[in-house]
Amino acid sequence: MALRLGSRGSALALAQATYVRERLEGVGEEVEVITIRTSGDERPGGAAAPENDDKARFVKEIEEALLREEIDLAVHSAKDVPSLLPDGLAIVGVPQRVDPRDALCGAASVDALAEGAVVGTASLRRRAQLLAVRPDLDVREARGNVDTRLRRLAEGGYGALVLAAAGLARLGRQEGEPISEETMTPAPGQGCLALEARAEDAVATGLAARLTDHDALVALTAERALVEGLAATCHTPVGAHARLRGDRLVLDAFAGMPDGSEWIRDSATGDARDPAALGRAVTERMLAAGARELLGAAERSVAR
């Protein structure tokens, strides 16, 4: 019987599901990809929901299909998965991470943008960090899938766009110059895939484990611990990026106002054998520096 792999139906989601399917077939499994329409897909013209929308919209219906045993394994963009999962479900695999950075399309660098340039993004996190370093920029909301946004860029609708380097790579697009993590801390989980299954499903869990990359799993664990500790929501601009340095793990974090007027950055190093502990430690440092109050103000500003 074929393993049933659940995925959203967007071009990017299907590219990710195809990658996982091919890896599973490489270890001798027969795989059927089942596409599931999620609440995040229910947007005018089929546009994907922006990063600051409720993350659960991207995964809710897929998780319900898992719980109903209609699929065996789900493929998500890790940055779309809320920190708290439904009872009975677990992230059981994290394949090798691709470039976690954001990418600037239409200009060589953030510094190279003309004064007052119009920059498109659907992300509060990206908006906050762009305006933190370049308050002169005119940052506007960019809707639609990757192809739609790039077409609007080519037509002159924006001077530049910020997109995930990982998404561009998975779609085979050559556009975009990576933005350094020092300038723009990536979204937690960006560049990672999260494989989700029923916790008691030993077969799916075992197969997902065979696809798991140790470094990606360690980094994602630290980043998700930070998100949970900060109680970050879809309306709070938060970045987190972890990477291994031998047996040590470095975690960078960002929290800020959407208009770039205030922000907190932090970085700490911990034992790679306990990535969640590092995530919690950076959380405490961020909270001590005023992150709770800052993120509360950010959420209120978005609600207005």
Q: Where are the domains of the chain?
A: 3-95+193-212, 102-178, 223-303
3-95+193-212 adopts what CATH topology? D-Maltodextrin-Binding Protein; domain 2 (3.40.190)
pLDDT of residue 143: 86
pLDDT of residue 51: 43
- Full-model pTM: 0.93
In eight-state DSSP terms, residue 125 is H
**β-pair type (89-93, 193-198):** antiparallel
CATH number of 223-303: 3.30.160.40
Which tens digit of pLDDT belongs to each residue from 254-273?
Answer: 999 999 999 999 999 999 99
Catalytic residue, candidates 41, 53, 72, 80: 80
274 a catalytic residue: no
- The kind and range of the H/E element at 249 are strand 248-256
Residue 280 has pLDDT above 60, yes or no: yes
Q: Which residues contact 66 (CB under 8 A, 6 or more apart)?
A: 6, 72, 74, 89, 196, 197, 198
Residue 44 has pLDDT above 70, yes or no: no
Is there a shared CATH topology between the 3-95+193-212 domain and the 102-178 domain? Answer: yes
Tokens of 259: 């208009």
Residue 46 has pLDDT above 60, yes or no: no
Homologous superfamily, domain 102-178: Periplasmic binding protein-like II (3.40.190.10)
Residue 233 has pLDDT above 60, yes or no: yes
**3-state DSSP call for residue 85?**
coil
What separation in angstroms does the CA of 63 have from each of 88, 94, 123, 182?
10, 17, 24, 35
Q: What percent of the chain has pLDDT over 70?
A: 95
Residue 42 has pLDDT above 80, yes or no: no
